[in-house]
Amino acid sequence: MRMFGKAGKAAAVAAIAALALTGCGRAETGSAASGGASGATGFAKDSLIGVALPQKTSENWVLAEKLFNDGLSGAGFKADVQFANGGVSDQQNQITSMITKGAKVIVVGAIDGSQLGTQLKQAKDAGAVVIAYDRLVKNTNAVDYYVAYDNFKVGELQGQALLDGMKAKKPSGPYNVELFAGSPDDANAKVFFDGAMSVLQPKIDDGTLKVVSGQKTFEQAVTQGWKAENAQKRMDTILAGNYGSATLDGVLSPNDTLARAIITSVKAAGKPIPVVTGQDSEVESVKSIMAGEQYSTINKDTRKLVEHAIQMVQDLQSGKTPEINDDKSYNNGVKVVPAFLLPPVIVTKANVGTAYAGDPVLGPITQGK
C-alpha cells in the first residue's frame, strides 16, 4: 500500500486532507474504518445482486456490464445490472427498484457519488450490503466497502508520464503544458488530478513547467460529464488564445476519451501533437500510442476489478468478511470506507507489447495478430 510520507509530497498531503474535509477523496490519516458491513450476510446462493452503473461514457463501463452479468450468473446469483443513461435520477430509481426486488448486495458505480445517500440508506435499512465500485460514494454511512484501482496512484503515474514524455522529446525545459481534469461530479476526478499535481506542482513552482493559459486549478480544468466534445472545445479555446507562436509541449489528460479529443483539437489547429496522457486502455488510444500519437494510458484491467467485486459478494454470501487492503485512506466525508485497491500500470509505446499480454481484446492488437 502506497503511503504519502515521502519527501516532496507535503502539498499532496495538504490537498488530500482538504478532500477529506469536503468528503471528496483520500486522507492520509484518520480513524479506523467504522466497522464492516451491517447488512445481511450468509444469504442464499441464488439471491439477487444489484449492480448500478453510470452512463456509458467509456469502454470500461460497457465491458463491466457484461462481466458483472456473466460473473454473477456464473456464480449462481441473479444479476440485475443497470446503466443510468438517464442521469442521476435514473440511477436513484434503479437502486430503489433493486431494494424493492430484495437485492442482498448492491454494487454502485455512481454517476454522482454525493446524490445517492437517501437510496443507500434505504438499502441499508432493508438489510443490503453496499459496495462502492470504482468511484467512492460520498457523505453517507450507508456504504460498507469500496473496490477500485488506487486512484491517487493513477494521477501520480500520469503526472510522471507527462514529465518523462516531454523530457524524451526535449531533454531540458522549460515546457509549456495545459491541465485537464475529469467531471466534477465524479469523486475520482479530483483524486486523479491531485495525484498528478503532487508530481507536477513542484515543477510548476520551480519554472520547469509553464501553464500558459494560467488555468491551474481543478475547477478551471474540469470536463463536465467526461464528454469529449467539452474537452475539445476547451482545447480549441486554449490554443486560439495562447498558442499563436508558442509551442505546446504536453497536456495532462485524465482519460483516453479526452486525450483523443485533445489530440483532435491540436491537429485541427495545425499544431504538432504534444505529449498527452490518458487512462483506461481504450482500443483507439492503444492504437494511437502504438502509432506514436497519444503518449500514455493507464491499464486498469476491468476484468480484475469486477472479479474482485464479485469475490466480495461471494464472501458476503458465505458469511465471510471480504478482503480489504486499506482501512484509512478513503474518507467519504462521514466515514472511512474499508477498501480493496488494485495497482494501476502505466503503458507507453515502450511497454505496450507486454502490458496487455493475455488481454482478449488488446493482446492481439498489440501483438500484431
Task: Report pLDDT for 166.
Answer: 98
- Overall average pLDDT of the 268-296 stretch: 97
Shared-domain flag, residues 178 and 226: yes
**pLDDT for 79-114, tens place per residue?**
999 999 989 999 999 999 999 999 999 999 999 989
Task: Report pLDDT for 369.
Answer: 52
CA distance 165 to 311: 38
- Overall average pLDDT of the 269-288 stretch: 96
End-of-domain residue from the set 282, 299, 316? 299
CA distance 170 to 174: 9
* Cα–Cα separations (whole angstroms), residue 67 to 61, 110, 216, 310, 322: 10, 17, 38, 10, 20
- Structural domain count of the chain: 2
Shared-domain flag, residues 205 and 332: no
Does residue 170 sit within a domain?
Answer: yes
Shared-domain flag, residues 155 and 103: no
CA distance 62 to 254: 19
β-strand partners of 130: 106
**pLDDT for 33-72, tens place per residue?**
334 454 456 899 999 999 999 988 778 899 999 999 999 9
Report residue 368's pLDDT band, with 50, 70 and 90 as the boundaries.
confident
Q: Which domain holds residue 205?
A: 151-299
Shared-domain flag, residues 129 and 66: yes
Does residue 18 sit within a domain?
Answer: no
**To the nearest whole percent, how much of the chain has pLDDT over 70?**
89
Task: Report pLDDT for 187.
Answer: 87
Shared-domain flag, residues 172 and 278: yes
Q: The domain spanning residue 272 has which CATH number?
A: 3.40.50.2300
Report residue 286's pLDDT band, with 50, 70 and 90 as the boundaries.
very high
Report residue 136's pLDDT band, with 50, 70 and 90 as the boundaries.
very high
Does residue 281 sit within a domain?
Answer: yes
Does residue 279 sit within a domain?
Answer: yes
Does residue 354 sit within a domain?
Answer: no
Task: Report pLDDT for 329.
Answer: 86
Does residue 175 sit within a domain?
Answer: yes
**pLDDT for 181-224, tens place per residue?**
999 989 899 999 999 999 999 999 999 999 999 999 999 999 99
Shared-domain flag, residues 155 and 256: yes
Shared-domain flag, residues 145 and 276: no
Shared-domain flag, residues 64 and 98: yes
End-of-domain residue from the set 267, 299, 331? 299
Q: Which helix (H) or strand (E) holds 125?
A: helix 117-125
Shared-domain flag, residues 171 and 285: yes
Does residue 25 sit within a domain?
Answer: no
The per-residue DSSP string of 68-116 comes to HHHHHHHTTPEEEEEE-TT-HHHHHHHHHHHHHTT-SEEEE--SSTTS-
* CA-wise closest residue to 149 among 303, 314, 274: 303
**Does residue 295 carry a pLDDT above 70?**
yes
End-of-domain residue from the set 299, 331, 358? 299
CA distance 139 to 78: 29
Average pLDDT of every residue of the chain: 89
**Does residue 297 carry a pLDDT above 80?**
yes
Shared-domain flag, residues 115 and 232: no
Angle, vertex CA 334, rays to CA 48 and CA 199, nearest 5: 100
Predicted TM-score of the model (pTM): 0.80
Shared-domain flag, residues 155 and 165: yes
Does residue 10 sit within a domain?
Answer: no
Shared-domain flag, residues 202 and 273: yes
